[in-house]
């Protein structure tokens, strides 16, 4: 194929300011979302492209001299997380905020499926929420390194108490907006008549999570936001028991794009046990609206406009999609 290789083309995106990408996507590209047969199974990531030995750089290690060491803590294979208590609700809560469930999707990991966080013996501050995923031209409080979660549990809960049901909230926002705590999930736990543990999390949005084109398909980079969600569910299955939750009693809940996402996870069957037991689809679903295939002319036109605004269109023709690619939602 003439020109630069596909992987080098996509790598050029990694050299462009992430806020430039976000601004152009939200100002130039109309909302659209690809599902069903239009999503390809991701190709293996070349090891030399990624340094998986490095721990996330956005996790502050707890200074041993501070009083935070007296606060509640939970130890997992990913490390020990220091949380905090709150008494603002009828039921006092313990909160663990900003816990990463994937390596930051930055640099060579941009436009790639999420990668789990390495095991660690370190101690981390989980008393403050992390930054939101980029969701528009206002970058305040937002970051590309945003794949983290928040956990809320009744005070006194731990790994040795009776395992509590778990609620995982998938936020809405048309796959372009929204954030983990756009609902006050802590309030739901604090006012609940029955004890439960709740999880809220961030996933990639807009161009970084749902950019469609033949090139993105060939790179295995479609529906990255859904892949983020799937990895989060796996994280809950692996670690929630350390926080006192029951991995066999997990319920997904979400409105709008969150409900739409849950519908896709319900319909996905890769032969492995599902990572949740129940689902609450509050509005919409995976079959509730018409969507375009990733190679639809609308997507291809928008993608070319996107490349043009970044100064890449003239040297980066959109390739033809090979008929030999395996087809899968995830």
Q: Go through 153-162 and write b for each residue having 16 or more CB atoms within 10 A of its CB, e for each that does not.
A: bbeebeeeee
- Per the prediction, the chain carries an average pLDDT of 79
Q: Specify the pLDDT at position 7.
A: 55
Question: Residue range 281-286: average pLDDT?
Answer: 81
In this predicted structure, which of 3-7, 130-134, 319-323 has the lowest mean pLDDT? 319-323
**Are the C-beta atoms of residues 147 and 114 closer than 8 Å to each other?**
yes
In this prediction, what percent of the chain has a pLDDT beyond 70?
Answer: 71
For 110, residues 6+ apart whose C-beta sits below 8 A from its C-beta are 13, 14, 18, 144, 208
Tokens of 79: 């490390």
What topology is assigned to 46-213+222-292 in CATH? Rossmann fold (3.40.50)
pLDDT, tens digit, 9 for 90 and up, residues 22-44 = 545 544 443 344 443 333 333 44
pTM of the full structure: 0.77
- Please report, for residues 74, 84, 86, 124, 259, the alpha-carbon distance to residue 66 in angstroms, rounded to integers and kept in the order given: 18, 14, 19, 13, 42
**Going by DSSP bridges, is the β-strand pair 93-100/148-154 parallel, antiparallel, or unpaired?**
antiparallel
Q: Specify the pLDDT at position 326.
A: 39
Torsion of CA 68, 157, 234, 10, to 10 degrees: -30
Q: Specify the pLDDT at position 64.
A: 35
Q: Which residue has the higher pLDDT, 159 or 167?
A: 167
Q: Specify the pLDDT at position 222.
A: 93
Q: Which residue has the tokens 């003439």?
A: 2
Q: Specify the pLDDT at position 159.
A: 86
């Amino acid at each position: 194929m003439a020109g630069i290789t596909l992987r080098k083309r996509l790598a050029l995106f990694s050299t462009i300011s992430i806020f430039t990408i976000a601004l152009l996507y939200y100002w130039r590209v109309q909302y659209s979302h690809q599902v069903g047969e239009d999503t390809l199974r991701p190709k293996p990531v070349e090891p030399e492209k990624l340094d998986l030995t490095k721990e996330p750089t956005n996790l502050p290690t707890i200074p041993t001299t501070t009083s935070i060491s007296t606060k509640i803590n939970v130890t997992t294979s990913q490390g020990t997380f220091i949380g905090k208590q709150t008494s603002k609700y009828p039921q006092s809560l313990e909160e663990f905020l900003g816990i990463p469930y994937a390596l930051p999707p930055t640099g060579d990991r941009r436009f790639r499926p999420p990668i789990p966080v390495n095991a660690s013996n370190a101690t981390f501050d989980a008393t403050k929420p992390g930054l939101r995923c980029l969701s528009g031209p206002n970058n305040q409080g937002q970051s590309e390194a945003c794949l983290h979660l928040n956990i809320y549990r009744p005070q006194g809960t731990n790994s040795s108490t009776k395992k509590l049901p778990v609620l995982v909230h998938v936020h809405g926002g048309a796959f372009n907006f929204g954030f983990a705590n756009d609902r006050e999930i802590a309030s739901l736990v604090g006012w609940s008549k029955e004890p439960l543990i709740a999880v809220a999390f961030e996933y990639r949005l807009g161009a970084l999570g749902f950019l469609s084109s033949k090139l993105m398909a060939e790179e295995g980079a479609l529906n990255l936001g859904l892949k983020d969600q799937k990895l989060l569910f796996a994280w809950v299955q692996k670690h929630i028991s350390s926080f006192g939750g029951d991995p066999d009693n997990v319920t997904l809940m979400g409105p709008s794009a969150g409900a739409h996402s849950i519908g896709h996870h319900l319909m996905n069957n890769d032969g492995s046990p599902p990572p949740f037991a129940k689902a609450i689809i509050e509005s919409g679903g995976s079959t509730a609206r018409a969507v375009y295939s990733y190679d639809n002319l609308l997507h291809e036109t928008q993608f070319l406009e996107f490349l043009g605004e970044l100064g890449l269109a003239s040297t980066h023709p959109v390739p033809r999609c090979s008929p030999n690619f395996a087809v899968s939602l995830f």
